[in-house]
Amino acid sequence: MDSKTETKLRCAVVTGGNKGIGFEICRQLASDGISVVLTARDISRGLEAVEKLKNSFGITNVVFHQLDVLNPTTISSLAEFIQSNFGKLDILVNNAGVSGMTSDADGFMTMMQAIVKEDQNIEKPNLKQVIIETYESAVECMQTNYYGVKSVTKALIPLLQFSDSPRIVNVTSTGGSLKYISNEKALELLSDGSGLTEEKVDESVDMFYKDFKEDSLETRGWPTYIPAYTLSKVCLNAYTRILARELPTFRVNCVCPGWVKTELNYNTGVYTTAEGAKRIVNLALIPNDGPSGLYFTHGEVTPF
């Protein structure tokens, strides 16, 4: 069997695939001959994305299935759909995520313009006037970006185990670095090494929730800028390391696609969605002797 035939027999799931980076990941994987299951919470938007791939790019090897990473029923339904239609899964790209904040668009864009251009002459808005984060939005962020990824991944691991080349790619952020966490207890729990466990990661989240409720994030060493999003990605990175250790025949990595122009940042990024998605797709297609348990930013391995 030649490599092209093998590729055509491979199946991938992309969460949050109806727009932005997720949509482009689906397009690039499908263009490589892989059967792609594009997932999204909103059924109409998911179906529209599949139609766009067909009508605008001539891609017919993408199908839609609804998935809300916070809804166990949709997760189990997705697993059953893959089992019935493909019998296995080769690639899982955990791309779906939320920011955990609401923001003033004009103020945010002005702030990002100053940061990206390193222009000191642009007046930067007060961060707290631009970004609003509540306890409820913080919980939603953690549940989506960390716990939701865990739920989807655990449901699909049995199908990935049928693959000859199982891949899990978790889409993270440069903000997911441990250097942004100053809380000593959390650093101890999340530090690298054989002692890292899901229970320790979850404990750090519980600590964060408690300190958020008590309005003591800054005094207790948590990030002050989009704290829930930052911690959610730190925890996702930790979970990546745990999976890589527990699944030695898998290739499991996390990757920051870069500051990509998306709706999440009001298109203030410096990279196109195609450029960002390419970094993710590259890891989804690494060979069986490729790296695992690593954190990539800008295509390079980065310390956790």
Query: So which residues are the catalytic ones?
Result: 229
Residue with tokens 């959390």: 186
Nearest of 42, 44, 39 to residue 23 by alpha carbon: 39
Length in residues, the chain: 304
**Residues in a beta bridge with 295:** 254
> What are all long-range contacts of 49-57, with beta carbons under 8 Å and residues at least 24 apart?
49/17, 49/18, 49/19, 49/23, 52/23, 53/23, 53/26, 53/27, 57/27, 57/31
Handedness of CA 197, 200, 206, 208 (dihedral sign): negative
Coil/strand/helix, residue 80: helix
Handedness of CA 202, 206, 208, 209 (dihedral sign): positive
CA 60 → CA 2, 67, 74, 171, 273, distances in Å? 22, 20, 24, 25, 21
Residues 78 and 15: their CA atoms lie apart, in Å, by 11
